[in-house]
């Protein structure tokens, strides 16, 4: 039995009909950020991200998905996985007032280190 998929996954180039072949070379900007937090800041960081998601990415047409994961075996660590329609959409995302306040402001103070990794989508189902 197939498991249900979130609507945003469909916008990431998955096939519109069951059994269709995955598409390739979709123009989606994928950003991945593994983030090590300063000790003892997991709960605070998660609260900021939870407040940011509906106010920032949840309102942005060019943000196709915004997902943040915790690793239950690695405290004070978050993994951001984000998909944007293009570079302009990413620039709008990072240029918004709510991004500057919550992510570049409050959240940035909790970060020990992070890496920004760009990826290109090659297949999605």
Structure tokens at 51: 């407040």
Model pTM?
0.77
Nearest Cα neighbor of 28 from 3, 4, 47, 9 is 9
Give tens-digit pLDDT for 57-86: 999 999 999 999 999 999 999 999 999 999
pLDDT of residue 51: 98
Report d(CA 90, CA 3) in Å as an integer.
Answer: 30
pLDDT of residue 18: 47
Please list the ranges in the chain whose pLDDT falls under 50: 1-25
Structure tokens at 21: 């072949």
What sign for the dihedral angle of Cα 101, 52, 94, 73?
positive
pLDDT of residue 124: 79
Q: In Å, what is the CA distance from 74 to each residue of 1, 12, 77?
A: 32, 28, 6
pLDDT of residue 14: 38
pLDDT of residue 125: 82
Angle in degrees, CA 43, 44, 49, rounded to 5: 95
Report d(CA 125, CA 26) in Å as an integer.
Answer: 13
In CATH, which of 3.30.379.10, 3.40.50.880, 3.10.20.30, 3.30.70.100 is domain 24-120?
A: 3.30.70.100
In terms of C-beta density within 10 A (0-12 exposed, 13-18 middle, 19 or more buried), how is residue 97 classed? exposed
Question: Rg of the Cα trace of the chain?
Answer: 16
pLDDT of residue 26: 59
């Amino acid at each position: 039995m197939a498991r249900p998929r979130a609507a945003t996954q469909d916008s990431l180039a998955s096939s519109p009909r069951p059994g269709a072949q995955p598409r390739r070379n979709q123009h989606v900007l994928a950003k991945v950020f593994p983030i090590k937090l300063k000790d003892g800041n997991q709960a605070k960081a998660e609260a900021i991200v939870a407040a940011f998601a509906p106010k920032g990415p949840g309102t942005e047409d060019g943000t196709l998905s915004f997902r943040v994961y915790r690793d239950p075996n690695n405290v004070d660590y978050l993994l951001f996985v984000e998909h944007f329609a293009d570079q302009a959409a990413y620039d709008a995302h990072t240029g918004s007032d709510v991004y500057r306040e919550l992510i570049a402001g409050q959240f940035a103070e909790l970060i020990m280190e992070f890496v920004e990794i760009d990826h290109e989508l090659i297949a999605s189902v």
